[in-house]
Amino acid sequence: MKKYFTSVFILGTILISFNSFAQLKVSSSGNVGINTLTPAYKLDVNAKTLRSYYQSNQPFILDVYHADPRITTGSHIVFYRMDGTDFANIECKVCTEYSDSTAKENISLLKNEGLSTILQLRGVSFSWKNDKNETKHSGFLAQEVESILPGAVYTDDSLKHKSLSYSAIIPYLVEAIKEQQHTIEDQNARLDDFENNCCNNASLKSASIGNVNESDVNVAKLYQNAPNPFTTQTIIKFEIPKTVGNAQLYICNMNGTLLKTIPINQRGVGNVTIRGNEFKAGMYLYSLVDDGKIIDTKQMLLTE
């Protein structure tokens, strides 16, 4: 009987000590706490560092069986390999980031910042130093991105290692596409205007751009300049039937303003040379006009 009371006393002491100081706590409601005496959830972990000492180089797997685990405290969570030499890969079916508008303030639009920002980024290919297979990856260098988009880069307080939020670049990509689309639509409108009113000369009746009947030997033809783009000079080739009385080559800017008229006296196959120092760098339109009719119109690009 004495041994029985002694055993009960020892067990009670252990339980009291466990409930007061132990790292593992099970509450009366069934909540399990690690390093906390008042677990508020089914699994409540209060730890600065969470590590899994599983078999070497094996993944740490958290299977929540279709539950909805959420970590709402602390700035970020870092997963390391067991040996501490590398970061672990995290895989999930769908990854979402908190982006509720009610939690945001000082909201402003990215006006004309998308394309200019994206053009500064430099995509690179690389392999990780600790990757024995030397697998090729692609991405950005955090130090370079930080000088362009500092809000997309995070620096570890202790090791000073930098990490990058690729999703922070997406809004700039979207705005860059919208800017380019606006430019394309503007250029298409200018081309339509140029086709209908070439070089502001209403007496010229326009033909469809690039719509030349190649099988008709009696129809004039205009070819794409070569090289294109060009810097020093380029050659524009054409074919003009003998029946054509008056032929010119018109060069206009993208606004439809006539910059130069080149009379063409030769018939049959011929060409003219355009020198780069005659114009500023940019996009230009050139048209072959025979007897007051636009035969064809093409674009050429002069670079610096």
Per-residue pLDDT, averaged over 280-285, amounts to 90
The confidence band for 77, taking pLDDT boundaries of 50, 70 and 90, is low
pLDDT digits over 154-186, tens only?
887 777 889 999 999 999 999 999 988 988 888
Domain chopping of the chain, boundaries: 2-45, 208-302
The confidence band for 94, taking pLDDT boundaries of 50, 70 and 90, is confident
For residues 188 and 260, give the distance between their C-alpha atoms in angstroms, rounded to a whole number. 22
Between 68 and 238, the higher pLDDT residue: 238
**Residue 198 buriedness (CB in 10 A; 0-12 / 13-18 / 19+):** buried
**Residue 33 buriedness (CB in 10 A; 0-12 / 13-18 / 19+):** buried
Q: What is the pLDDT of residue 206?
A: 42
Which superfamily does CATH assign the domain made up of 208-302 to? Macroglobulin (MG2) domain (2.60.40.1930)
Q: Phi then psi for 82, rounded to 5 degrees?
A: -65, -35
Q: Which of 61-75, 108-122, 218-232 has the lowest mean pLDDT?
A: 61-75
* C-alpha closest to that of 228 among 237, 219, 220: 237
For residues 297 and 288, give the distance between their C-alpha atoms in angstroms, rounded to a whole number. 7
pLDDT digits over 23-59, tens only?
788 888 888 888 788 887 777 777 655 555 544 555 5
Which position has the token pair 């140029």?
194
Q: What is the pLDDT of residue 235?
A: 93
The confidence band for 107, taking pLDDT boundaries of 50, 70 and 90, is very high
Most confident of the following: 56-70, 136-150, 244-258: 136-150
According to the 3-state scheme, what is the secondary structure of the chain? Answer: CHHHHHHHHHHHHHHHHHHHHCCEEECCCCCEEECCCCCCCCEEECCCCCCCCCCCCCCCCCCCCCCCCCCCCCCCCCCECCCCCCECCCCCCCCCCCCCHHHCCCCCCCCCCHHHHHCCCCCEEECCCCCCCCCCEEECCHHHHHHHCHHHEEECCCCCCEEECHHHHHHHHHHHHHHHHHHHHHHHHHHHHHHHCHHHCCCCECCCCCCCCCCCCCCCEECCCECCCECCEEEEEEEECCCCCCEEEEEEECCCCEEEEEECCCCEEEEEEEEHHHCCCEEEEEEEEECCEEEEEEEEEECC
pTM for this predicted structure: 0.49
